[in-house]
Each structure stands twice: as C-alpha cells, then as structure tokens.
C-alpha cells in the first residue's frame, strides 16, 4: 500500500510540476521549435523569430501549441516522475542511489515517458509550425487530419522512436545533474532545502537535459512536422535526417534553436522541480508516505 501511495503522490506532484513547466516555458519553446523547423531564410535568428511572432501573431502567438502540452503535460510529467520513482526502487531498495544509478533510473523513466510525450510533442510542433496565416488550423483540426490521413502509428505517434532516442539520454542527464546539485546544497542546508536551492537544482537539470539530446530534438521536430511519415527503420530515418541537416546547414544546424532552449530550461525546469518537490513534500505530510 505504501508503494502504491508513493506512486500516487508522484503522479499528482508531476501534474503540478508539468503545468508550471508549460506556463513558464512555452514562449521560448515556440521560438526554439520555429528555429528548428522554419524554411531557410524565413527568420534571422531567435530574436527575429520573437519580433516577427509578436508583430504578426501578437503576444499569444508565443503560446501557440500550448493546448497540447497543457492538456497532455499532466499525464506526461505524471508518468515521468512516477516512472522515475519506480525505476529507482527497481534499481535499488535503498533511498540514496549513486549518480550512476540515478542516470540509469532517469534513462528508464525517459523511455517510459516517450509513450505520452511523442503525441503531445507532435501536436505542439505542428501547431508551432503555423505562422499566423488565415488558414492556420486549430488543434482539433490538426488531430483529425493526422488521424484521418495516417492513422495512429504514422500520424498520432509520428516520431515515437526518435522521441525515445531523445528521452533516454535527456533524462539520464536531467536527473543526474539535478540530484548532483541537490546533494551539494543538502550538505550545507540539510534535507529541507530552501526554494531557491530547488530552483537552482532544477535549472541545472534543465540545461543538462538539452545538452544531452539536442540534435535528436531537432530531428524529432523535423520528422513530426513533415507532410509524410518517415520511411525505413528508426535508425535509418534518424541517420538520414542527421545527414540532411548537416548537408543543409552544416554541423551548426544540429544545434539550431539551442540558445532559446537553454534559456527556457532555466525557468521551466526550475519551476517544474520546485513545484514537484513542494507538492510531493506536502502530499507526504498529508498521506504519511
């Protein structure tokens, strides 16, 4: 029963953390995604994306595609944090894992997280890939179109395997950096860390997340936006997309949009982990586990 209640606490706290992440990070995520997927020459860097988006679509253009992650992020983050907690318990019965064990648990959680993250990301990317034209589609129309034309696997779950490939190293790096920072702060402040220490630890984890996986995120966005699904095995289409990006934009193309991603990771990851940890601590007091 204690194990079940811990998982419930992690699910609920993950939902709160996920909502905080979307509300704080969506504008910079829109800039990041458009830097990855916009036709060549459309924008001249992240600041130009910001200016054109505000000019052509208004402030809420930066929140385009938010409905998908806001609706889905509760499930995504709930699954992520619950899978991470379960993975830690599978790896070791002891609460204090080594950083290598933390990385393994994070990788396992990332693989599980991709099940829900893939369709949420696909809808978000396709909404962000619209630039304020009169024929821009609403989320409902995009979902109906993808389902009607391509079905579940090639439509709704498009980019699933590259999402798996992204999430495994991303969350291994994410949780390792977060735990490392958190433990450093704990040596000075004890187990009850101040909120700013949780924010700082979350920011460190967020930066590590993107540095661990960014080229695969570029591939994922391109695959999910394309009019037709990828062909071949996942390894083949991921390798093909990486070669195509390098041929089009050089090695730097693999990191297009990285700067807004890193900027986004600081407040988004910080708010996610702070909200998660504070909610979980509250639930632990209420439930006793």
Ramachandran class of 257: left when φ > 0, alpha when ψ lies in -120 to 50, beta otherwise:
left
Nearest to 73 by CA among 137, 132, 29: 29
Please state the domain count of the chain: 1
Cα-trace Rg, the chain: 19
Map tokens 């062909």 to a residue: 231
Q: What is the pLDDT of residue 217?
A: 97
Q: What is the pLDDT of residue 2?
A: 44
Per-residue pLDDT of the chain (289 residues), as tens digits, is: 344 677 788 778 878 887 788 888 889 899 999 999 998 889 998 999 999 999 999 998 898 877 777 677 767 877 888 899 899 999 998 888 999 999 999 999 999 999 999 999 999 999 999 988 888 999 899 999 999 999 999 999 999 999 999 999 999 999 999 999 999 999 989 878 888 888 899 889 989 999 999 999 999 999 999 999 999 999 999 999 999 999 999 999 999 999 988 888 888 877 887 788 888 888 888 887 6
- Secondary structure element (H or E) that encloses residue 121, with its range: helix 99-128
Going by the DSSP 8-state scheme, the letter that residue 6 receives in this structure is: H
State the pTM of this model.
Answer: 0.84
Q: Looking at residue 201, which CATH number applies to its domain?
A: 1.50.40.10
Burial class (CB in 10 A: 0-12, 13-18, 19+), 211: middle
Residue 279 and residue 248: Cα distance in Å, rounded?
Answer: 45
Domain that holds residue 153: 2-287
Going by the DSSP 8-state scheme, the letter that residue 208 receives in this structure is: H
């Amino acid at each position: 029963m204690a194990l079940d209640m811990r998982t419930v606490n992690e699910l609920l706290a993950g939902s709160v953390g996920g909502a905080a992440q979307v509300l704080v990070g969506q504008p910079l995520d829109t800039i990041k995604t458009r830097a990855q997927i916009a036709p060549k020459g459309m924008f001249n860097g992240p600041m130009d994306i910001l200016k054109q988006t505000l000019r052509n679509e208004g402030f809420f253009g930066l929140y385009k595609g938010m409905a998908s992650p806001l609706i889905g992020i509760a499930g995504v983050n709930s699954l992520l944090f619950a899978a991470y907690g379960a993975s830690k318990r599978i790896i070791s019965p002891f609460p204090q894992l080594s950083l290598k064990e933390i990385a393994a648990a994070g990788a396992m959680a990332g693989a599980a997280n991709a099940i829900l993250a893939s369709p949420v990301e696909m809808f978000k990317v396709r909404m962000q890939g619209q630039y304020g034209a009169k024929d821009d589609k609403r989320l409902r129309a995009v979902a109906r179109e993808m389902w009607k034309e391509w079905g579940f696997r090639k439509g709704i779950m498009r980019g699933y395997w590259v999402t798996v490939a992204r999430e495994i190293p991303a969350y291994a790096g994410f949780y390792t950096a977060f735990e490392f920072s958190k433990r450093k702060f704990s040596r000075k402040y004890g187990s009850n860390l101040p909120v700013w220490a949780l924010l700082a630890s979350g920011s460190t984890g967020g930066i590590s997340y993107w540095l661990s996986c960014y080229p695969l995120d570029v591939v994922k966005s391109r695959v999910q936006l394309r009019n037709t699904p990828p062909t071949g095995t996942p390894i083949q289409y991921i390798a093909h997309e990486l070669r195509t990006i390098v041929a089009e934009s050089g090695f730097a193309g693999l990191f297009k949009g990285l700067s807004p991603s890193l900027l986004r990771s600081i407040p988004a990851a910080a708010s996610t982990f702070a909200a998660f940890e504070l909610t979980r601590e509250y639930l632990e007091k209420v439930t006793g586990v």
